[in-house]
Copies of this chain bind each other. A is one copy, B any other.
Amino acid sequence: MRIAVIGAGNSGLATAAYFKKYGYFVTLWNRTEKNIANLKQSRRIKVLGIWDTTFIVDIVTSDIKEAIQGVDLILVTTPSDSHKDIARLIAPYVKEESIIILNPGRTFGAIEVKQILLQEANVCPIIGETQTILYTCRKIQEDVVSLLAIKRNVQIAFLSKDGHSIFKHLPKCYSCNLILVDSILITSLGNVGMILHCAPVLFNIGWIENKGVAFKYYYAGITPSIANFLECMDKERIMVANKLGVDVLLVQDWLKKSYKTWGNTLYECLQNNDAYKTIDAPSTLKHRYIMEDVCTGLVPVEYIAHQLGIVVPHISLVIDIAEKVVDFPFREKGRKMDILDLK
């Protein structure tokens, strides 16, 4: 099985190295050629952290045709606000039997990609998405990645009635860390980034914009009042999921499951989560915590909620603030799925 990894960021480098470890033929694509200039020459990715080894990928390219042609599995590891562009780029080379997986899809990513592939090339491959990123990792240099952990039981879902046979067909080294769920509604509405990432940035603008006054994002930036607000947003997300007939975990329960933290409130669960204690806050508002998570998290949830006749006042308020403070038309640019698309 030949695998294309789309994106050479944190997660892309870790993914490419991971599949080379298990002996697969791996192509690695990145849009911006200058960001892979050295890698293109050497094809060597150094992995620190849980391993300390170097892997040589087979092709490193910014030519999407070269990256995609002849591969069976396309793993998209870019931020979700670029899924649209990626879909347009790959459309001419995708086949019906290709498997495309968004790692992760954020909210309704698989549906967005399906729609674009149909429009652009009238092709309908197998499309899946994960609920979150698979690796806890940070890109250190262009060709060096620190891989701190491989997550377990990460949810995956396919836009197909035959998810089970697709899942069985995946490389074992990949599927062993995943857990198949019935519907991309579960992975999409299980997107916790939209809750944890957007509002805390907006309630910390002053602190974030004061250069040289760094602070820990989860530990200091999410105070009791902010966590309380996030719990209200989270209940709105759960309400939308339930109205669509799916069960998803509250963020605090997701944290308990994913990180073995504990507490009676979201605030307590965050304060007790050692894994989050060192994570720094962004130093700008134009960060993926806003630019990505509002577009591909809050906007699609609000849009679907309104079609379902549900108001989501806390979520709507955060989109309103983001639009005014960042001066970007998030609602216009974000994912807006028709309720029929979900069926």
Contacts and interface: CB of A to CB of B under 8 A. Distances in A.
A97 B210 CA distance: 54
B202 A203 contact: yes
List of 5 A-B pairs having minimum Cβ-Cβ separation, nearest first: A209-B223, A204-B206, A203-B205, A207-B207, A206-B221
Contact of A206 (B220, B314, B321, B325): B220
Interface stretch (A122-130, A225-233, A242-250): A225-233
Interface residues of A, number: 28
Contacts of A209: 223-226
Contacts of A6: none
Contact of A205 (B213, B223, B232, B324): B223
- Copies of this protein in the assembly total 2
B210 A223 contact: yes
Interface of A: 200, 202-207, 209-210, 213, 215, 220-226, 229, 232, 285, 313-314, 317, 320-321, 324-325
A206 B270 CA distance: 14
B321 A317 contact: yes
Contacts of A203: 202-206, 325
Contact of A324 (B215, B224, B229): B229
Interface centre among A204, A205, A314 (most CB of B within 10 A): A205
Contacts of A285: 225
B314 A317 contact: no
10 contacts: A203-B204, A203-B205, A204-B205, A206-B220, A206-B226, A209-B223, A209-B224, A210-B223, A232-B324, A317-B324
A225 B210 contact: no
Contacts of A225: 205, 209, 285, 325
A34 to B, nearest CB: 30
A61 B41 CA distance: 85
A193 to B, nearest CB: 18
A323 to B, nearest CB: 9
Contacts of A221: 206
B220 A210 contact: yes
A206 B223 contact: yes
A148 to B, nearest CB: 26
A105 to B, nearest CB: 29
A226 B324 CA distance: 10
Contact of A320 (B215, B232, B317): B317
Given A206-B215, A207-B207, A225-B325, 16 more contacts: A202-B203, A203-B204, A203-B206, A204-B204, A204-B207, A205-B225, A206-B207, A206-B221, A206-B222, A210-B215, A210-B223, A213-B220, A232-B324, A317-B320, A317-B324, A320-B320
